[in-house]
Amino acid sequence: MTMTHSETAAESDKRRLRRELLAVRNRLTADDLRETAGALAGRALGLPELAGARTVAAYVSVGAEPGTLALLDALRARGTRVLLPVLLPDGDLDWGAYAGEGSLARVRHGGRMALWEPAGERLGPEAVTGADAVLLPGLAVDPRGMRLGRGGGSYDRVLARLDRAGARPALLVLLYDWEVVARVPAERHDRPVDAVVTPSGVRRLG
């Protein structure tokens, strides 16, 4: 497939925006991270999409990402089944059930940042198609719901898998307030999300 000029420009714009946003995240303190994680969990737990969900596919935040652990524990305490990703060698994602912080293993994938992954049984890449809501990591989102990811493509595969299966879970992204931006550069394969949760509130998108 030949790449159009606009796709090349979008990729370059995405790279620049990623660099800018990561630089801001890297200035956050441990106190900032703790405070925002608590606020995010409170906001997210009020969402009807999560209140009614039997199964939620989520992820464990690493580094300066908006913290998810408080939210994962609160969902689990509610009786919600929480699935967490396992990064495969080809960049795709397998899934495992979250059974509390003690069920996580720290796994380093090549030169990338170490990830916290579920240590138990692998449920297969298709397990995500049974989720009622999917929490996606990201660096930014715009009012159309276009999400800027890390650029690894793992979640593009997840979204394509949901499409193929005809699955329509609520797609939610957790971000800091300043990461809701006027416009995210988008390519043809990008799929919009339904809502963004930030420490100050929830915003419906699209």
b/e code 104-124 from CB counts within 10 Å (16+ = b): beeeeeeeeeebbbbeeeebe
Classify residue 180 by its DSSP letter.
B
- d(CA 96, CA 83) in angstroms, rounded, equals 5
The 10 Å Cβ neighbour count of residue 88 is 14
- Write out the two tokens for 190: 């990008």
- d(CA 120, CA 144) in angstroms, rounded, equals 37
Residue 39 phi/psi, 5-degree rounding, is -65, -40
Binding region: 14-18, 60, 65, 147-155
Length of the chain: 206
Binding region for substrate: 60, 65
Binding region for ATP: 14-18, 147-155
